[in-house]
Amino acid sequence: MQLLPGFRDFYPEDCARRNYILAKWREVARRYGFVEYDGPVLEPMALYEKKSGGELVGQLFDFEDKGKRHVAMRPEMTPTLARMVAARERDFKKPLKWFCVPQFFRYEKQQRGRLREFYQLNCDIIGEASPAADAELIAVTIDMLRALGLTQHDFVVRVSSRHVLVDVFGEKLNLKDEGELTGFFEILDKIDRTDPERSDAALKSFNTSVADIRVWLQQIREQILDPTSYQSGVSAGTHSAQMHELLHNHLRPRGLMEFVDVDFTIVRGLAYYTGVVFEVFDRSKNERALAGGGRYDGLLSLMSDGKVNLPALGFGMGDVVLANLINDTPAAKAQMEAWLAQERACSVYVVIAKEDRRADALALVQSLRDAGHRVDFPLVAGKVGKQFQTAEQLGAKHAVVVGDEWPRIRLKTLASREEIELDPADLLARL
Ligand code: HAM
C-alpha cells in the first residue's frame, strides 16, 4: 500500500529531526513568555470558509462525517484560536501570549517546501494594539531561527503593512471599495513572480503600471527605513509612522535590524489580516516562505458577532521549508547533527560478561535507570566483544562490565579506554 502524496512517514531519524525543530521552537517560545495551548484537529467547515478566506478554502481536506456535519481537518490555527479566546476572553489577563505546534493538512500541489501535511509553530499576542507587540512578535520569529543556527545571512523578515498600502494606494489610485482593494492586492502579491507585461495589463484598470508602483513602494520603504525621517513633519500615529516606531524604537534596540527589511509587495493571502504583515524568506531565495503572519485586529469581533473586540497578531512557521534550509546551511546542519548525536546516545551500556550474573546485572540496570541514566544491555546472551561493539554503536559513554569480578564490577570510559574496578554501590557517584 502506497503512502498518500504529500504525507510523510517519520522513521526514527526523521522523527528525531522533527523533534529537534519542535524542541527549539518550544524553548524559544518559553524564553519569550508564551504559553502553550492546542485545539481540535477537526473543525466545522464553515469556520474556515468564513474566517480564513482566500486560497486556503480551496485547499481543505473536508468531508461529511457520520452525523452529516460538513467538517474539515485543520489547515491553520488562527480561526480556532480566535474562537477559543472569544469564548473565554474574561478568564485571561491581557495581553495573551500563546503558542502551539500543531499538525496541519492542506490539499496543495506537492512540491519543494509544500506538502499536504506539516507542522507549524504559531505564536500569537492578543489584546495589545501597540507597535511594541508587533516588534515582540517579529523578534520571537527571528530568535526561533537564530536558535536553529541560522543568521542574518541566511534569512530575512520582510515587513509590510496593509494599512500603509491602503493609505498610499487608496488615495493615489482612488481605490473606492474592498473589492477594488482586494483586486489590487492580488496583483501586488504576485508582482515579483509575474511577467511585468502581464502585471501591467492587469494594472491598466487601475490607471497605473509596474514601474510607477515600484517607485512609490521604494519611496515609502526608504522613508520608513531611515531612522531620522519621522522626528518632525509626519504626524505621529499615522500607519507609516507606527511602522517606523516598530522598527526603530522596538527592534533596533534589540540589535535585530539586520534581520529585517521593508517590502510592500508582501500582502499575505489570508482574508483576516489588517495592519502590519510579514513573511520570512531565505536569502538565497531557493525556498518558499519560511513563516508568515501579521495583525488580524477584526477577527475576534467577527468570530463573536461583535461581543469581543480585541486587537490580535501572530505568525505561523512551518517545519518543511525550515528543514530544507537547515540542511542547506552548513553551520545550522552541524548544530542539528550535534544535538541529534547527543539525543541518541545512551549513557551506560551494561555488559553481561557472565550469564550467571544476569540477575545482578538487571538489578544494576534498574538502579541506574531509576537514577535517570539512559541505559541499555543485551536482552539475550552474547559474546563480550559483540556487546562492546553494540555499546560503541549506541554511542555509550560508559560500559559497565558485570562478570567474574562480582561482587565488584568494572567501569570503562569508552572514549579514553580508561578502566577502574569498583563496588556497585559506588557506581552512581562515578558516573
Ligand atoms: P501561512 O502563510 O498560510 O499562515 O503559513 C505559514 C507558514 O506555514 C508558511 O510560511 C510555511 O512555512 C508553512 N506552510 C504553509 N502551508 C504549507 C504546506 N502546504 N506545506 C508545508 N508548509 C506549509 C498561516 O497559516 C497563518 N494562520 C499564520 C498566522 C498565525 N497568522 C496569525 N497567526
Q: What is the CATH number of the domain that holds 251?
A: 3.30.930.10
For ligand 1, mutation pick of 47, 56, 60, 76 (most atoms within 8 Å of CB): 76
Residue 38 has pLDDT above 60, yes or no: yes
Looking at the fold, whether 302 and 373 belong to one and the same domain comes out as: no
Looking at the fold, whether 231 and 120 belong to one and the same domain comes out as: yes
348 alpha carbon – ligand 1 mean position (Å): 42
Domain count, the chain: 2
Q: Which residue CA neighbors atom 15 of ligand 1 most closely?
A: 318
Looking at the fold, whether 328 and 354 belong to one and the same domain comes out as: no
**Which of the listed residues 303, 338, 373 is the one where a domain comes to its end?**
338
Looking at the fold, whether 209 and 355 belong to one and the same domain comes out as: no
159 within a domain of the structure (yes/no): yes
95 within a domain of the structure (yes/no): yes
Q: Which of 335, 258, 231, 321 is nearest to 285 (CA)?
A: 321
70 within a domain of the structure (yes/no): no
Is the CB of 76 within 6 Å of ligand 1? yes
**118-162 confidence digits (pLDDT tens):** 999 999 999 999 999 999 999 999 999 999 999 999 999 999 999
**410-419 confidence digits (pLDDT tens):** 999 999 999 9
Q: Which of 278, 297, 309, 53 is nearest to 182 (CA)?
A: 53
Looking at the fold, whether 313 and 206 belong to one and the same domain comes out as: yes
Residue 233 has pLDDT above 60, yes or no: no
**Which of the listed residues 309, 338, 367 is the one where a domain comes to its end?**
338
Give the Å distances, CA to CA, from 322 to 94, 148, 156, 285, 290: 31, 9, 13, 13, 6
53 within a domain of the structure (yes/no): no
Is the CB of 316 within 6 Å of ligand 1? yes
Is the CB of 329 within 6 Å of ligand 1? no
Query: What pLDDT is stored for residue 245 in this prediction?
Result: 94
Query: What pLDDT is stored for residue 236 in this prediction?
Result: 55
292 alpha carbon – ligand 1 mean position (Å): 6
Residue 79 has pLDDT above 80, yes or no: yes
Residue 393: in which H helix or E strand, if any? helix 384-393
* Atom from ligand 1 closest to the CA of residue 317: 7
Q: Which residue CA neighbors atom 29 of ligand 1 most closely?
A: 315
47 within a domain of the structure (yes/no): no
Query: What pLDDT is stored for residue 237 in this prediction?
Result: 62
321 within a domain of the structure (yes/no): yes
291 alpha carbon – ligand 1 mean position (Å): 6
- Whether 350 and 365 have beta carbons less than 8 Å apart is answered as yes
* Atom from ligand 1 closest to the CA of residue 75: 25
Tell me what the mean pLDDT of segment 369-391 comes to: 97
Per the document, the length of the chain is 431
Here the CATH number for the domain that contains residue 360 is: 3.40.50.800
Residue 339 has pLDDT above 90, yes or no: yes
69 alpha carbon – ligand 1 mean position (Å): 26
Q: Which of 29, 94, 250, 31 is nearest to 159 (CA)?
A: 250
270 alpha carbon – ligand 1 mean position (Å): 10
Q: Dihedral of the CA atoms 194, 200, 204, 207 (nearest 10)? A: 110
Residue 156: in which H helix or E strand, if any? strand 155-161
- Whether 81 and 272 have beta carbons less than 8 Å apart is answered as no
Q: CA-to-CA distance for 428 and 175, rounded, in angstroms? A: 74
Is the CB of 312 within 6 Å of ligand 1? no
Tell me what the mean pLDDT of segment 314-335 comes to: 98
Q: Which residue CA neighbors atom 14 of ligand 1 most closely?
A: 318
Q: CA-to-CA distance for 104 and 119, rounded, in angstroms? A: 6
38 alpha carbon – ligand 1 mean position (Å): 16
* Packed helices 319-327 and 12-31: angle between N→C axes, nearest 10 degrees: 100
Looking at the fold, whether 360 and 315 belong to one and the same domain comes out as: no
For ligand 1, mutation pick of 76, 120, 287, 310 (most atoms within 8 Å of CB): 120
Looking at the fold, whether 331 and 357 belong to one and the same domain comes out as: no
Looking at the fold, whether 273 and 391 belong to one and the same domain comes out as: no
296 within a domain of the structure (yes/no): yes
Find the domain containing 101 and state its range. 12-39+77-338
Average pLDDT of the chain to the nearest whole number: 94
Supply 170's cell numbers.
Answer: 487608496
Is the CB of 124 within 6 Å of ligand 1? yes
248 within a domain of the structure (yes/no): yes
Looking at the fold, whether 101 and 214 belong to one and the same domain comes out as: yes
Extended strands (E) in 321-388? 348-352, 375-376
- Whether 121 and 335 have beta carbons less than 8 Å apart is answered as no
Tell me what the mean pLDDT of segment 252-260 comes to: 98
Number of H helices, E strands in the chain: 16, 17
**Which of the listed residues 338, 369, 397 is the one where a domain comes to its end?**
338
Long-range contacts, stretch 388-396, CB < 8 angstroms, 24+ apart: 388/351, 390/349, 391/349, 391/351, 394/344, 394/345, 394/346, 394/349, 395/341, 395/344, 395/345, 395/346, 396/345, 396/346, 396/347, 396/348, 396/349
Looking at the fold, whether 287 and 321 belong to one and the same domain comes out as: yes
* Atom from ligand 1 closest to the CA of residue 268: 2
Looking at the fold, whether 388 and 289 belong to one and the same domain comes out as: no
Looking at the fold, whether 23 and 135 belong to one and the same domain comes out as: yes
Q: Is 421 left (phi over 0), alpha (psi -120 to 50) or beta?
A: beta
Is the CB of 80 within 6 Å of ligand 1? no
